[in-house]
Every structure is written in C-alpha cells, then in structure tokens.
Amino acid sequence: MTSVDNTTEAGPVADASIAQTGSASSSLHIALFIGLAALILALPSLGFYPFVLAEVLCFALFACAFNMMVGFGGLLSFGHAMFFGFASYIAAHTAKSGFLGLPPFSPELAILTGAAVAAVLGFVTGALAIRRQGIYFSMITLALAQMVYFFSLQAPFTGGENGIQAVPRGAALGIFDLSNDKTLYYFVAAIFMAGFLLIYRIIHSPFGQVLKAIRDNEPRAISLGYRTARYKLVIFILSATLAGVAGGTKAIVAQLATLTDVHWSMSGEVILMTLVGGMGTIFGPVVGAIVIVSIQNYLNNLGAWVTIVQGTIFVICVLLFKEGIVGVFSRAIKRPL
C-alpha cells in the first residue's frame, strides 16, 4: 500500500519537474534568440565585412534547414545541394531576365520563386526517396542531385560552366537599395531570422514531436497510427523549401549562380556544418556554418589546403566533440540548445 501511495505522490512531482525543465529551456532559448538578434545587428559596427556576414547567414539558414530534416526527422540526404543550387539559378535568372515575358523580378520575389521551385523539386524527390530507408534513401537523393547537376550544366538559362553572372540586387520592397552592402546584410539578416524562427516553431510543434518519435522508433510510431511516410515527405519538402530560400538569397548576395552551388561537394559542406556545430541541436548548424564559412573566407589564400584544414577540423570535432560544438556545450549545462 505504501508503495502505491509513493508512486501516486511521485506523479505530480515528476510532472512539475518536467514542466520546470521545459520552462527553463524555453527561457534559455528566448534569451539566446534575443542575444543572437542583438549580435547580428551589432556585427557590422564591430568591423566585420557585411558581405561576408551576409554570406555566412545564407549558409547558416541552409544548414539549419538541413539539420531540421536529418537531426529531427532522421533523414540523411546526400543531395541537398540540388535545392540550394537550383533555387539559386532560378532566383538569379528571374532577377536578371524575368520569366515568361515578365520583367526582371524584385529580389524578394526572385527568392520566393526559387523557393517555390525548390519546394516542387523537394516534393518530387521526396516522393521517390522516402520509399527507401537508411543508406538507400541517402543514395537516391545523391543520384537525383547528380541528375539536377547535369541538367543545370546543359540547360540554356543557367549559362553552363560560366553560370549566371552580374545578377542585379535591385531594391527590396521597392524601397531598400541592396547595392549598399550594409542594407543587403540587414535584408539577409531579416530572412535568416524569419527562417530560423520558423524552423524552431516547426521543431517544437506537435508535428515536430511526431517527427522525433518517427526518428527514434518508426515501427512504434506506425503502431500508434501515424502515417510516417507523410510526415517524412512533409519535413523533406519543408527542408527543401528553406534550403531554396537560402540558395536564392545567396544568389542575390553574391550576384552569381554557378555549378558549385548545385555540386555534390556543396551537399558535403552542409553535412560538415551540421556535424561540426551539432546535429539535432537548434543553434549548432549556425555555429557550424560560421566555422566552415569563416575558414573558407579567411584562409582562402591557402588554396587547395583549405580542404585539408576543413578535414582536420572535422576529424578533431569527431574525436573530441562527437555531439558537435553546441551538442557538447548543451550536455555540459544539461539544457537542449
């Protein structure tokens, strides 16, 4: 009898403890979001180049979109560059030449068009790929990404090996002149924060909780009545769309769309960013993107040795920080980050 009473009394105590932990994590996340927003606003005033910062934010959004799928949905894609790169081409083409007789698009409309095309591509790719699991899923995405790469190489509007150059930045909302690097940076920062907050909301929604259940134990989720294939397809499309937003934004920032954006090595880079920062964490991909892009920009005088430096950092992170930089820190403070 005593045992039963103790169990009964422990229930509310345990629930209260879980609620307090969740509340503490939410408060920490809010503080981190505010701190991140303040840091983003202040960085240009601290002497950092706005163009480089804008590029970092583009890749950070790309990494966050990829992490949403692999870290919380359990779907490892080897071909995510197809969404990033092809949306970059679409945004660059529509911003420079328009579409179907229409005049050149404004930067925000060009980015949205690229994202829409990435969403359609994500639907087609996801519908084919999710029929398989594990390495077979990953290899299908890689094969489809290579098809997109060779299409981009041959398609007349992509410019072949030369890509689409001299993409006009235009004026955001018809008001803000993006030819000014600082204005461009804050435009990109607004897109990044909107995408980042959307990803956070998706992860912490009931939909996100079901995704985590599918990731951890798909047979059990099926036994509970969830149509797991639909959930995986939806998260695949969402990830592809946000990767498209990142790719389209990058085309406006760099005023360029090339085969590099859609090459398999770009898929490898986003995987590297996610693993270095911390897969399955919220802020990890941002940290990973900062580390990798910073290495590429500030050590580019090393030429091909940059790849070796990246590989060395990756090996060090795997050996010393198996959960990624943010993952290790999150475990140390016992709070999900």
Does 248 score more than 70 pLDDT?
yes
Q: For the chain, what is the mean pLDDT?
A: 85
Q: Determine the average pLDDT of the residues in 200-204.
A: 92
The ranges assigned to domains in the chain are 49-262
More confident residue, 210 or 160: 210
Q: Which pLDDT score, from 0 to 100, does residue 64 have?
A: 94
Q: 147 CB contacts (<8 Å, ≥6 apart)? A: none
Q: 71 CB contacts (<8 Å, ≥6 apart)? A: 274, 279, 280, 281, 284
Residue closest to 237 by CA, chosen among 67, 116, 91, 134: 116
Contact (Cβ atoms closer than 8 angstroms) between residue 107 and residue 95 = yes
Alpha carbon distance 301, 294 (integer Å): 13
For 37-91, what is each residue's pLDDT tens digit? 898 888 888 878 898 899 999 999 999 999 999 989 889 999 999 999 999 999 9
For 97-127, what is each residue's pLDDT tens digit? 888 778 889 899 999 999 999 999 999 999 9
Q: What are the structure tokens assigned to 44, written together?
A: 């240009």
Q: Which pLDDT score, from 0 to 100, does residue 75 have?
A: 92
Q: What are the structure tokens assigned to 35, written together?
A: 């701190």
Q: What is the pTM of this model?
A: 0.88
Q: Which pLDDT score, from 0 to 100, does residue 102 have?
A: 82
Q: 24 CB contacts (<8 Å, ≥6 apart)? A: 335
More confident residue, 330 or 247: 247
Q: Which pLDDT score, from 0 to 100, does residue 16 have?
A: 44
Angle at 268 between CA 263 and CA 272, to 5 degrees: 150
